Structure formats: structure tokens, C-alpha cells
Structure 1
Amino acid sequence: MDESIGHFVALLAVAMLVAIAARRLKLPYTVGLVVVGAALKFSRLDLGEHLTHDLVFDLILPPLLFEAALALSWRDLKRDLVPILVFSTVGALAATFFVAEGMTLLLGWPFASALVFGALIAATDPVATIAMFKDNALHGRLRLLVESESLMNDGAAAVIFVASLAWAGAGAAASADGSSVLSLAGVAVGGLAIGCLCGGLAILVAGRTSEHLVEAALTTITAFGAFLSAEYFHASGVLATVAAGLVMGNLGVLADDEKSYLTNRGREFAVPLWEFIAFLANSVVFLLIGVDLASMPFGAGEAFAIFVAIGVVLLGRAVTIYPLSLLLAPTRWAIPLREQHILWWGGLRGALALALALSLPENLPLRDELRIAAFGVVGFSIVVQGLTMPPLLRRLGLVTSR
């Protein structure tokens, strides 16, 4: 126990040094963490921790998702709900099958295994995407579209992932037939319902106290409680946490004084508290991503497969964003072309994809190849796309130089 605490403190100490250096060098903080994590691995300095499916799902995702949802205004979200849902459902499905077909044609992978890879890598990652836009101080509708899509598309990705595992003969408890549509609805609706219930109960309890520390504790219980409850009932923990955050944010933190169920001091305390919690979670997860990326065996054959996977994933993102945006062009939800470019290039992959890759069963054909390709795509996504995003945003006139 003492050793684990020491490793955690060491991780945080390294992350804080990276944060200081990244600020001075004007580099994205998340990119710096990944690079330093890889360097630590190559230096053979053992920090004692590695990414696991349980670590990401049980400890990292809930606070990061809740903090992002807490700041989302329902009024803004409702205004662009149609494109968000289109990108996070139709887009996720289309990207999954495009990636599967591409990996089958170009690398000769069995379609079943390629579909598993498409499912775990097609959905954009809320952790990486939200961190990137915070690094670049991007605000407004574009940030809402990209972040909300990444928060919402987990439900579709989870069902496709489980169904594709079953189809690949990996013994998953789902089928890849027409019932997957109903499963998707159940996962999504169940997660939203559980999240709204948890958020509503927390708001009712918060309305009976004037202690800001109790209110803050209730937000913490809600963030983790909604996620774990949804996962227990085989619903989407991501959607549950997002829904709970939306409820507590719009009825508490973001509400006007006379309409809020939280005290003024509680609202003022909650925002920096969750910014701090999210900062710690981001620091740990991206540093560990770097450590685990450097641990993967990258030979000549693996490098070629990674190169192909990166190209196919980027093309898969493009063939969903641009055609779907074209369909929205005649409507009030039209998206300018320059913002479509950011939707495409800003669809990062990160800890969520790695957690799914790490959960692949041993009897899945090409299991190791899928893992290596996933790590390669995530590394490219965070480092290359993360580093090129600031100049791209400036080139398109979406942010000013800092």
C-alpha cells in the first residue's frame, strides 16, 4: 500500500514538472506528458503503475466526464443536439465499418477481428478531446460540438465493441445480429436514465443543506456513483456520468441564484474543485499512456500495420464528418467548412481506446496485432494531432495567437 502511494506521488511530481515546462515552451500539456512518460520508460525508471481497463473505467473516466458535463449548458446543447447525435451514432457506426473494411483489404485481417479494432478505435475519446481543447483555449459552438460528440458516442461504441467480440467468437455476452440496435438503445437509454436519477437525487439532497463541503461531496458521490451503477446494470457508464453532470450543472452550478439548488458558496467551490480533480486525472492518464506506448514491441511489421491503421482511421473519420456535414448544410445546423476540418482532425483517440484494447480476450484472433495498432493510432493522435492542432486553429482563424 505504501509503495503504491509512493508511486502515485512520484507520478504527480513528474506531471507537475511537465506542466511547468509545457507552459513555458507553449506546448500542449497532454503531449508533454505522453513524451515524458515514454522517456521515463526508455530510461528504465519504474514508476510502478500501468494503464489497465479497470483503472481507466473506474478511476479516470468518471471525474473527467463529470467535470466536462458540469460546464455544459443544456440550452447550448439542445440547440445543436441533432448534429451531436448524428455524429455520435451514425458517424460512429460508419467509421467502425469503414475501418474494418480498410484493415481487411490492406492488411488481410479477418473481418471479425478488424471489426473489433474498428469498434474500439472509431469512437473519439472524451478524455483526449476535452484535454486538447482546454489546452488550446477554444470556446463556443465548435468546442461544444466536438466535446459533446466525444461524450455521447461511447454508447454506440460499447455496443458495437461487444457485438463484434461476440461475432469474432471471443465469448462476449452479446450477439452481432439485428438485436444490436435494441441493445444500443438499451445501453444509451439506461445510462441516461441512471445518470438523471443519480443527479436528481443528489440535487434533492443538496437542497436540504447549506454546507458547501457537503454539496461538494455530493457531486463526487454522484460522479462515481452514476458511472458504477450504470456499469453494474450493463448500461453506458459514460452516458450516465454525462447525464448526472448535466443535471447537477444546470440545476446547480450553472443555474441563477434564485433557481439553483446549491448555495452560492457551493457553486463557487464546486467549479475549481472539479477543475483540480480533472487536472490530476489527466496528469496521471496521459503520463501512463506514454509509459505504455514505449512498452509496446514496434518492429518493422508492426510499424507498417500502424502506418496503415493511422491512415485508415483518419480516412474513416473524414468519410463520416464531411458527408454528414453536407447533409446538415441546408438546415439551421449547418457547419462551416473550416469547422468541419477541426471536427475531423480534432477527433482524437486516447485512454478509452487503450482501455478497450487492454480488455481484449486472449482467444481473439490477432489480439496482439490489434493492441499494437491501437497503441500506435493513439500515440499518433495525441502527439501529432495534438501538436498540429494549435497552428491549424490559428491558420483557420478560430483562435488567436497566445
Structure 2
Amino acid sequence: MDFNVALFELLLLVSALVAMLVRRLHMPYSVGLVIAGISLSYMASSRFPVIPLNQDFIYNVLLPPLIFEAAFHMRWTEVRKDFVVVQTLAIVGVLLSTGITAAGMHFLLHWEWISGLLFGTLIAATDPVSILATFREAGVVGRFRHLVEAESLFNDGTAAAGFRIVLAFVVGTHVGLIDVLRISGTVLLGSVFCGWLIGNVVLSLLHRTDDHLVEIAFAMIAAYGSFLLADNLQLSGVLATLVAGLVMGRLNAINPMTKRGREAVEAVLEYTVFAANSFIFLFIGIQQARREYDTVWASIGIAVVVVMLARAVAVYPCCMLFSRSSLRIDVRHQHVLFWGGLRGALALALAMGLPPGVPRREEIVTVCFAVVAFSIFIQGTTMTALLRRLRIVQRNGGGSQ
């Protein structure tokens, strides 16, 4: 990837201007950026024919801080109360979603099973950015907000690990049940261990410094180090970074990070996430304008319906398991969990990283972009209205727990 400083500055300028504009228009930031990306593509295609945001850049550079920041800020004392619910949604829900999506694409569009499974796992990954931004603006607080945040984060970890497992069968010769269990166990346990190891090594180093600049450096090392270690071992970098973020953040009861250091790390992570999300959503807009959809409209329409159905099956039956317990989830909140399952950066990064030999690779990537666009433009823009319709928030912006 050729690094173009002028283009980098342009994208950063556009991101800042869009952030200012959408606040005035009360529009989701992600929607504004995608529209800006589409506009950029049409206005500047001859000047900037190649946008330097490929799969490697998104997956290895932009994605780790997004995952790490979300895990680092997770309020573990709140989340652990609903840990069983979160893990049920993130594990059982993702498995159900993957299976239904794969079956739908196989029987309705005659995709190969392996193509359907790859698409099912990558599209099961949800993006909390837009929904949590809407929650902040609407004033949604309390248990439900923590539940949505945790479900989306652990969902990403499960989906990414599942994708790595399915991909192992594409490039290898593993076909038996024993092989499935062995690879699954290796990927899951190995990824968790990588994140735990890097997180604890960095924590031990933090005991030896009170310099906030060094603490920032160590935090970034934990984010990228855990990701790269797991990825190079053919494990899940996303799951490893998630664990490292939890270890570095609020999960550790005796965190050696100084108050000034934590504030500095949080500020740097906040800006890094802003920049990463900005580039990703601009990239989505630019790619939407340049992709050819003429031959896959039927596939896109069916995929959107199948993905939404799969999300419904992943949410409602799992929540029903807790309907008679103290962990019961309000039906209104279940509706928001279903409609708030937006797709974004991780799904795109996984799709673009498919090996060339995967059956229907280009169709999978194109359909993935279309499903992401649907979730951003349709689900993202109607979330506030849904929150008001369900009376989770009031029209004046007052929040609810």
C-alpha cells in the first residue's frame, strides 16, 4: 500500500467536517461518512483512482484499536451480572446466525456450503459504533446499554474466531468431527491465551513506570501486539485483542496504570478510534460507488432478508431462555438488540481477506458491502425512531434504563 500524505490529510479533513455537520443535522456519524465517501468517489475518481485502504490496512492497522478500546472501557462490574446472557447471545446466537445464513444462501441462491458458512460467520459480526453513538445522543444508560455493548464486542470475537475456523477447512484438508473440535479448541483457547499473555506482560511493565507517555506506548503495544501475535499463529487476532483490552482495562482489580496515564491512554484511544472509524466508513462509501451490483441484485435482496432472519433467531430464542429468571430481558430491548445488529468494519475486513480460491469470493465481498450499506442507511437511521416508538427514550432526549 502506497502511503499518500495528501490523501490522508484530505480524508482526515473530510472526517472532521462531517463530524461537525452531522451533529447539527442529528444524523448518525457513520451515515454522513458513507455519503461523503460516495461523493468523494464521484468527484475525485480521476484524481485519486486508488484509495489506499486495502484489507491489510483495515484489518491490521484500523481494527485492533477499535476492539481494544471497546474492551478497555467495558464496565466489567456491570457486565459480569449479565455474563451468562452475553455469552449465550455471543456464542449460541452467532452459531445460530451462521447456520441459518449459510443454509439460506445454499438453498435459495445455490451457493456452495463452504461459501455460505464463510459468509455466515463474517456477516454475524456486528458493529457497535453506530448504535452506541445513538445511545449516547438519546441518553440510554444502565443495564441495557452495557448489555448491547458487551454482546456486540463478544459477538465480534466469536464471529472472528469462527471465521478463522471455517477458513482452516478451505485451505486445509480437515473434514472430520475430531478435526473440527481440535481446530476450534486451538483457535479459541490459543487466542484467549495470546491476549491474556500480552495483557499481563504489559501490566507487569506498567508497574515499573509512572510516565504517562510510556503508559500510552504500552497500551498501543498491547492492542497491536496481541492482535499480531495471534494472527501470525493462525489464531484470531480479534479475540486476542479483546482479551488484552479486558485485562488492561477494568477487569484487572489492581491496575498499575496511574490516573494521569489512564486519562492519557483513554484520550489517545478515543482519537484513534475516531480516525479509524472515519477512514473505514469513508472507505465503505467510496467502495459502494465503485462496485458493480447489476448482476447480484437478487443475491443482495435475498441476503438482506436471510441475514435479518438469522439475527432474529439469534436474539429472540436466546433471550427467551432467560424469560423466567432474574436475567430477563425486556421485550422492547430485544427488539433493539435485533434491529441494532449493524454490520461494519470487521465484516468487511474479513470478507476482503478471503483467499482467491474461495468459491464465489467476489460475490461474497459484493454482497457483504451491500448488507453493510443496508444496515448503515436503513437500520442506523431508524434506530432513534425505534427507541422513541418503544418508549425506551422520550422525544425530548430523556434516557431510560
Could you say what the CA RMSD is over the residues aligned between the two structures, in angstroms?
2.3
1:136 Cα shift?
A: 5.1
Residue 269 (structure 2) aligns with: 274
Does the CA contact (< 8 Å) of 2:198 and 2:226 recur in 1? Answer: yes
Residues 86-125 of structure 1: CA distance to partner in whole angstroms, max 9, x if unpaired?
1111111111110111122222323332222212212323
Does the CA contact (< 8 Å) of 2:125 and 2:160 recur in 1? Answer: no
Residue 258 (structure 2) aligns with: 263
* Cα distance, 1:342–1:200 mapped onto 2, change above 3 Å: same
Residue 121 (structure 1) aligns with: 123
Unaligned runs of 5+ in 1: none
Residue 283 (structure 2) aligns with: 288
- State which drifts further: 65-74 or 125-134: 125-134
Does the CA contact (< 8 Å) of 1:29 and 1:135 recur in 2? Answer: no
In structure 2, distance between residues paired with 1:55 and 1:127:
19
Q: How many residues align?
A: 394
* Cα distance, 1:381–1:2 mapped onto 2, change above 3 Å: closer
- In structure 2, give the amino acid aligned to 1:71: H
1:362 Cα shift?
A: 2.6
The DSSP-based 3-state class of the residue aligned with 2:392 is: coil
- In structure 2, give the amino acid aligned to 1:119: T
Residue 76 (structure 2) aligns with: 74
* 1:298 maps onto 2:280 in alignment: no
1:248 Cα shift?
A: 1.7
In structure 2, distance between residues paired with 1:195 and 1:25:
40
* 1:328 maps onto 2:330 in alignment: no
1:260 Cα shift?
A: 4.1
Does the CA contact (< 8 Å) of 2:160 and 2:238 recur in 1? Answer: no
The DSSP-based 3-state class of the residue aligned with 1:209 is: coil
Residues 258-300 of structure 1: CA distance to partner in whole angstroms, max 9, x if unpaired?
x54122211222222211111111111111111112211011x
- State which drifts further: 193-202 or 82-91: 193-202
- In structure 2, give the amino acid aligned to 1:309: A
In structure 1, distance between residues paired with 2:42 and 2:137:
26
Does the CA contact (< 8 Å) of 1:199 and 1:244 recur in 2? Answer: yes
* Cα distance, 1:176–1:132 mapped onto 2, change above 3 Å: farther
Residue 17 (structure 1) aligns with: 17
- State which drifts further: 108-117 or 96-105: 108-117
Residue 213 (structure 2) aligns with: 213
Residue 380 (structure 1) aligns with: 374
Unaligned runs of 5+ in 2: none
1:211 Cα shift?
A: 1.3
- Among 300, 307, 311, the residue aligned to 1:313: 307
Does the CA contact (< 8 Å) of 2:28 and 2:130 recur in 1? Answer: no
Residue 358 (structure 2) aligns with: 364
1:31 Cα shift?
A: 0.9
The DSSP-based 3-state class of the residue aligned with 2:321 is: helix
| TM-score, structure 1 as length reference | 0.90
- In structure 2, give the amino acid aligned to 1:14: V
Residues 34-83 of structure 1: CA distance to partner in whole angstroms, max 9, x if unpaired?
11111211224454425422112211111111111111122222111111
* Cα distance, 1:134–1:9 mapped onto 2, change above 3 Å: farther
* Cα distance, 1:166–1:197 mapped onto 2, change above 3 Å: closer
Residues 166-198 of structure 1: CA distance to partner in whole angstroms, max 9, x if unpaired?
65xx43475574432332232222222221222
Does the CA contact (< 8 Å) of 1:129 and 1:150 recur in 2? Answer: no
* 1:183 maps onto 2:183 in alignment: yes
1:126 Cα shift?
A: 5.0
- In structure 2, give the amino acid aligned to 1:239: L
* 1:195 maps onto 2:206 in alignment: no
In structure 2, distance between residues paired with 1:127 and 1:185:
30
- State which drifts further: 128-137 or 156-165: 128-137
- Among 63, 66, 75, the residue aligned to 1:64: 66
- State which drifts further: 306-315 or 107-116: 107-116
Aligned pairs for 1:19-168 (under 5 A) are 19-45=19-45, 46-47=47-48, 48-125=50-127, 133=135, 138-165=140-167
The DSSP-based 3-state class of the residue aligned with 1:153 is: helix
- State which drifts further: 150-159 or 360-369: 150-159
Percent identity at matched positions? 43
* Cα distance, 1:59–1:198 mapped onto 2, change above 3 Å: same
In structure 2, distance between residues paired with 1:210 and 1:308:
55
The DSSP-based 3-state class of the residue aligned with 1:328 is: coil
